[in-house]
Structure 1
């Protein structure tokens, strides 16, 4: 009885507590119960309070204490959309952006939100169709669904919003074409539809009816055809962005009627014809970018007459004629990029006199004449890029006083004369490239003031005199390349102090004296080329102690003495000591035929293959015996080659038969609705279609009859001996990929369309990713295409994919082989995690991580504890992902000879301790614009690669930290329309690769 009484009393107390909270508070608690709150962000939502007005994210009206606003942005909440919030009668503002809301959005959930004026559900994981009920909300003025997984077409109801002002559907999975009925929304001020996989179609001319429109953001919408002239009637439009589509035809002249426009972005299309006149009368225009099109003809003379014009980008077109003279009259121009065109003639003599010019890139044209003397009169010029033109004359004296310069690239022109002394010592200059000209004179000792110089590239000129000892003060110097000049005298001993030196190329000069000793600081030197000079003396044994030296050319000098045995320590890709006066026996390692051409022209060297050793008595019989042995060896080699060729022919014939068995016996298992059959896939399994090959099989590109492309992975045969020795079979890998990918639905996980099996032949059919893998792109000569905003987006995409595997799959999935080559990029450089051949689910049994029989993963990405214990959990993936972030920031491989015994993680840590952050950042990135974001991303990468697993954040936390990197900066540079200001975007500069 006593216990029963206590229970009744307890229930009574609960009822009293719940009755003390008003109805709106109960609705909020109901919403909280349906969500996971891993960071305990809603801990102050206390049912004992009488009103929720002081709770986190809740705001109430000043009178009546009714809830009018719920703002739960970025709290890490997970779960379905909390429909009970819409039962709050006066709720006018609702934001759940930057969380993990992961359900569909049914009409029944949002229909009760009758008072809602502002709804922001951006950057979540919502799926399914767009709900019709949203358009029926009578007061809804702001709707932002950016960055979700909504799919299907834009419903017709979205043409009937009664008072909508801002509509943002950016970065979803919307299909069909952009509908014309959006032109009915005459109250719209912003229409943002960018980066959706719409079907190819034209821009609806009806959008010209949106008379109140201020922002039209339609980048990456798969538009084709012409730009409708009707868009020129949008008199209030401030931002027009039609970039990254497939638009063709001419730029309509009506664009010049956009009287309020601030920026026009038409880059990365297929527009043709001339640039229309009229831009000069746009009194508010700050930026125009029509790069990467097929525009032709001269630039209009009035282009630079717009009074506030700051940035002009028309690079990578077919523009001819001269640079308009009006450019010199502009008083606001900051950035002019016209590279990769067909411009000719000379530049206006007073260019830079009136404008605060910071960036001038006119590379890859046919421009001639002098570089204008006034180019840096305003004293703010940072980048001067005039590569591959016909400029002549001397460098302007004013450039020697241009202390703001950071990059100067004048390669392959016809410039001559002496370089002004002060120019060598500019304090912020880090890249100086004067290659391929006719400069003369010497390198000034003033160069010691250029404390930031990292690269000095002055090959193929007529520089003379000695190398000044002051160059030893350039503590950041990585590359000094001065080949094919007339430099003379000895190498200054101070060069041995350059701890960052990676490449030293001084071949084909008149340098003399002995080679440097005391070069222990050259720990990063990978290339040393001193060929074709007049060096004398012996080869320093210290060269053999340089840990990453792989290119050594000392040929064509007057070197004497023997070859130091220490050179055998080097792992050389290029090795040449020819045409010197070396003597003595060769070190044993070099006594092989592969080094035959490395020692030519040294009469004093004694080795059999040199043919220079004296012939002793009895050697004739010995040589005859050797000739017989060589003949036998050559005959055996010939028989072997013929046998291998015959075997290879038979093997290919056998494999072809294996590839094309009876098609009727193939079994197809689909995971999505397919528009193709297994027969189309089998017909594409040809060696000409191979696009990749790895440890688990070959990958083919298959073009289907409907024009779509897929990637087909054919797994290696199950009888491979090495697979058996590793206690793994192809069947296991196949089952892992199918079991994992077949049930996954996420925008950042590569989609598995289907699988095909026949006996022991197994095929996996994936969606095709046109930009390949991150690793291949980042570490190729196309790495400059990946500017920082793109790299950041790739990191965030991949993190969201891994977070889904770790936190939203039951049981959680550990990838076990996270690396840049397993992150694939779509046509817009969106990232998706791929290759689940070694993925395993983590057993949720409370017994700790599962121990695997072998180490899975790739060198440089494997977590330290995994390599020793073979125990795998989510923390292993987080370490590997941290290495990927470091790759994105540094541009370097996870393991590289440059690092010596270190991997990328240890190299970054040591380099930052010794030289600071700037030393590890990829020089292809514009640190000036994105320094804060890059530094924060670097910190996240180092946190993920902590040696102790317990110190690594969860993937959900990593996603949130990455989002905060951009969110914090976004608040600093956001425009009034809520879109990131274009003036802070990193531009793709093909000529900026260093």
Structure 2
């Protein structure tokens, strides 16, 4: 008997070892099916027992037991899903999260009979969802988020027996959400967001899921009302139905959800009033977002009596006084109610008990004083109150609110002096007090506002001199102080503001001359000092401000000659009228089109009809007539000779490049110093500098020595063949579409970081676009060439900020907004100082503000590696697709790599950066050409790029926020995070604080 027991104990270990050895063989077979560039499988060698291998867990410690878990998350491996894993008889847990697993899932997966957890999120899986998955009777978690699964959710999925979590977020799943999901009574989390479902209602059967804790149906093309059956979800913690087309009212039955913590219904078409009663039962509710709907009526006091943390009611039609009881919430950190019709005063004690961080009550009809308690907890970062009727003084308590970053109190009825300490808050980047009745001067304490980027105090009653301390603001980008009562001379220190792009001080009482060092303001784009009492000469150095395109010095007392250096500028607006200037007008401006720029200067004279006095005209008329006659005669002879020559040349050579100039129509968008004939005469192959998908680009040197870039758009039938340009049989629809988009967009844009379109020339079959010439070409060409060494980190950072500002202008300051749709490094052009301009608007689209979620396009526009993942299947155009593309540009600047490259395998740059960061760290990602002394700053910019390229559009910041983050080098985080699916997920924040116009 004892011998028999000994034999049993000897056999058992041998059997176990044999089993583990066999399982190691299966795992080795799986390993061979993967591409493993980072060597994740390095430890999978030489040991019969796989229990010590990376990512492998056995049922017993050490080398005994069977393999029960294979976790290869973030391993940067690529290949098809290894069905061989199902040969592991005890396997319960499989995770390939965030890899490059491709192909489709086969029905063989059902042989993993004991599988409980399957996570294949963030991969490249395609095809339809396997109908046989419910045969996995032990399966509890199925996470297929972030793949490319298509087709409908199979009806068989109603037969899952143990499933607790199903997440199909961000795939290509179509059809309607099937009612059979209501049969999976074990479900705790149902996450189907961001799929292009067919328009359909929320299945009432979901109400059967008594164990459901998370219901996430964001962006699922839902229509119709919210069903009352959802009130039966007694365990529900998180309800997210945002970004759909839901209609009807918010049912009062939802107040039965006593365990719910978060409700998100924003961006729908819900109407009616909020439920008046029942909120008191929702004692767990902390976050409520019903913004961007059509809701009306008053906000219930019962709702505001809850211990809310975040309340978003913005962009609805709420009315009445806001409930005072909201002040009692000890958890409230976010209150956004802008864009409604609220009246009365804000609660007097708002913020006294609450850790308020973000407050936005703009665009309402609030009156009374601003509550002085808003920053009592010392964490207030943003207070936005524009376009109301607030009165009284700015609370003195704001002077001590050192956490403030953004302040917008403009367009109210505020009065009195600004508290002295308020000028110098150290973290404030935006201070907007425009259009109030504020008085007093700017305090010297402003020297402490080291982070101030935008200062707008226009249209007030400020007086006194500008303090010298204003020159200490190294980050100041815009200073608008027009329509006040400032006096004295401009401080000499103002020339230290090297980041300044806009200086607008018109309609004040400034005296003295312009600071002599004004040429140091290299980024100055707009200078408006009109209607002051400034005197002296206009310094010639003003001609060195290479990006200046708006100059207004009218209605002052300037004297002396007009600086010849002004000819170096390309000005959209020039006004020197009503001064005491003398002498000749510089030749570039001695044209009739500029006459209004010089009126009211009696001592000025030039060859502009109506500007000179009669005596000068009479004295010179004979001489001028003689010269003109000679020139005309000579010109006629030359024209006849040249015409005869070209006629003979055309008949002899039958050249395809000759163009009948008489048929051309010129449309200019700026004052031109050239004619279309200069352009047309220079379009030969020797001047070609580039050729792309939309046309051929020429560099044309004008008679005055300046250069312009001319794009000749391809005809629709034959790219590059100029023969088509002269025959009438060519279909020009494609040609016209690109041309019209470019003209419509660039013709009305005036921004220093958008390439300037001088004019366009067209016939019925040929279109030319004439731009400012950018000597350093495109960012893409330079960055990915042997000359990339010219782009050190400070230059790359400058390019990123410039391009971001250009896109922010398109998205936020153009009405309606413009989406570029082809943001890429090759469409960012660089001037002589490496200043960046966004270019090529051939596929740009105006976004209809009434179309929530964006406008639908019939075809995909964009370039490989830059196209946002959701754009490829939804064809929805909005700003978020541009932001993704810009994020790719940032990653190019940081890594020095192309957006798609053979070294990435099936990945693109975004995926490569993410996986490399996880596996090898940041040093492998950064461009080795960049100086390591900038590493901290580069990493912060890298983080901005990763935020912009978030796979979910809702997680991407607005371009205005991107600009601010770049300027502050990552010090602003626009999102809160809450728990979804056991992971930290960004809570919706679509930069609501940046609504409204920037004065």
Instruction: Go from structure 1 to structure 2 and tell me whether the alpha carbon gap of 1:554 and 1:37 turns closer, same or farther (over 3 Å shift).
Output: same
8 A contact 1:480–1:505 mirrored in 2: yes
Q: Residue in 1 aligned with 2:218?
A: 219
Q: Residue in 1 aligned with 2:616?
A: 615
Q: Residue in 1 aligned with 2:55?
A: 57
Taking the aligned partners of 2:830 and 2:509, their CA distance within structure 1 comes to 30
SS in 2 for 1:187: coil
8 A contact 2:799–2:835 mirrored in 1: no
Q: Residue in 2 aligned with 1:276?
A: 275
Deviation at 1:335, TM superposition (A): 0.7
- How do 1:704-723 and structure 2 match up within 5 A? 716-718=716-718, 721=721
Instruction: Go from structure 1 to structure 2 and tell me whether the alpha carbon gap of 1:75 and 1:136 turns closer, same or farther (over 3 Å shift).
Output: same
Task: Find 1:978's aligned residue among 954, 973, 982.
Answer: 982
Task: Find out whether 1:861 has 2:813 as its counterpart.
Answer: no
Post-superposition Cα deviations, 1:127-171, rounded to whole Å, max 9, x if no partner, equal 111112211112100110111111111111100111110011111
8 A contact 1:121–1:145 mirrored in 2: yes
Post-superposition Cα deviations, 1:174-205, rounded to whole Å, max 9, x if no partner, equal 11100111111111100001111111110011
Q: Residue in 1 aligned with 2:392?
A: 393
Task: Find 1:945's aligned residue among 885, 888, 896.
Answer: 896
8 A contact 1:44–1:55 mirrored in 2: yes
Taking the aligned partners of 1:973 and 1:350, their CA distance within structure 2 comes to 28
Deviation at 1:65, TM superposition (A): 2.5
Instruction: Go from structure 1 to structure 2 and tell me whether the alpha carbon gap of 1:488 and 1:903 turns closer, same or farther (over 3 Å shift).
Output: closer
Superposed CA RMSD in Å reads 4.4
Deviation at 1:589, TM superposition (A): 2.1
Instruction: Go from structure 1 to structure 2 and tell me whether the alpha carbon gap of 1:58 and 1:858 turns closer, same or farther (over 3 Å shift).
Output: farther
8 A contact 1:605–1:612 mirrored in 2: no
Deviation at 1:595, TM superposition (A): 2.3
Q: Which moves more between the two structures, 284-293 or 347-356?
A: 347-356
Instruction: Go from structure 1 to structure 2 and tell me whether the alpha carbon gap of 1:69 and 1:551 turns closer, same or farther (over 3 Å shift).
Output: same
Unmatched segments (≥5 aa) in structure 1: 1-17, 634-642, 649-692, 698-712, 726-758, 783-818, 820-856, 870-878, 907-932
Instruction: Go from structure 1 to structure 2 and tell me whether the alpha carbon gap of 1:336 and 1:950 turns closer, same or farther (over 3 Å shift).
Output: closer
- How do 1:923-938 and structure 2 match up within 5 A? none
8 A contact 2:20–2:66 mirrored in 1: no
Taking the aligned partners of 1:484 and 1:763, their CA distance within structure 2 comes to 49
8 A contact 2:217–2:241 mirrored in 1: yes
Q: Residue in 1 aligned with 2:647?
A: none
Deviation at 1:619, TM superposition (A): 4.6
Deviation at 1:717, TM superposition (A): 2.9
Deviation at 1:38, TM superposition (A): 2.2
Unmatched segments (≥5 aa) in structure 2: 1-16, 635-659, 666-691, 697-712, 756-775, 789-794, 809-822, 839-883, 919-942, 956-974
Q: Residue in 1 aligned with 2:13?
A: none
Post-superposition Cα deviations, 1:571-604, rounded to whole Å, max 9, x if no partner, equal 2111111110011122222222332221111011
Instruction: Go from structure 1 to structure 2 and tell me whether the alpha carbon gap of 1:82 and 1:451 turns closer, same or farther (over 3 Å shift).
Output: same
SS in 1 for 2:995: helix
Post-superposition Cα deviations, 1:209-235, rounded to whole Å, max 9, x if no partner, equal 111111000001111000001111211
Taking the aligned partners of 1:618 and 1:461, their CA distance within structure 2 comes to 50
8 A contact 2:151–2:175 mirrored in 1: yes
Deviation at 1:252, TM superposition (A): 0.6
Taking the aligned partners of 2:750 and 2:544, their CA distance within structure 1 comes to 31
Deviation at 1:960, TM superposition (A): 3.6
Deviation at 1:425, TM superposition (A): 1.3
Taking structure 2 as the reference length, the TM-score comes to 0.69
8 A contact 2:778–2:829 mirrored in 1: no
8 A contact 2:104–2:125 mirrored in 1: yes
SS in 1 for 2:616: coil
Deviation at 1:428, TM superposition (A): 1.3
Q: Residue in 2 aligned with 1:102?
A: 102
SS in 2 for 1:176: coil
Taking the aligned partners of 1:622 and 1:66, their CA distance within structure 2 comes to 106
8 A contact 1:20–1:49 mirrored in 2: no
8 A contact 2:777–2:830 mirrored in 1: no
Deviation at 1:43, TM superposition (A): 2.2
Q: Residue in 1 aligned with 2:303?
A: 303
SS in 2 for 1:151: strand
Higher relative contact order (CA 8 A, sep 6+): 2
Taking the aligned partners of 1:647 and 1:511, their CA distance within structure 2 comes to 49
Taking structure 1 as the reference length, the TM-score comes to 0.70
SS in 1 for 2:781: coil
8 A contact 2:56–2:67 mirrored in 1: yes
Instruction: Go from structure 1 to structure 2 and tell me whether the alpha carbon gap of 1:616 and 1:347 turns closer, same or farther (over 3 Å shift).
Output: closer
Q: Residue in 1 aligned with 2:914?
A: 962
Post-superposition Cα deviations, 1:747-794, rounded to whole Å, max 9, x if no partner, equal xxxxxxxxxxxx9869999xx9xxx99x999x9999xxxxxxxxxxxx
8 A contact 1:548–1:900 mirrored in 2: no
- Aligned residue-pair number: 763
8 A contact 2:901–2:908 mirrored in 1: no
Taking the aligned partners of 2:732 and 2:104, their CA distance within structure 1 comes to 35
Post-superposition Cα deviations, 1:921-943, rounded to whole Å, max 9, x if no partner, equal xxxxxxxxxxxx99998974333
Q: Residue in 2 aligned with 1:158?
A: 157
Taking the aligned partners of 1:957 and 1:491, their CA distance within structure 2 comes to 49
Q: Residue in 1 aligned with 2:430?
A: 431
Deviation at 1:31, TM superposition (A): 1.2
SS in 2 for 1:259: coil
Q: Residue in 2 aligned with 1:901?
A: 833
Task: Find out whether 1:537 has 2:541 as its counterpart.
Answer: no
Taking the aligned partners of 1:457 and 1:210, their CA distance within structure 2 comes to 54
Deviation at 1:859, TM superposition (A): 2.8
Taking the aligned partners of 2:831 and 2:309, their CA distance within structure 1 comes to 42
Deviation at 1:401, TM superposition (A): 1.9
Q: Residue in 1 aligned with 2:817?
A: none
Post-superposition Cα deviations, 1:683-710, rounded to whole Å, max 9, x if no partner, equal xxxxxxxxxx97269xxxxxxxxxxxxx
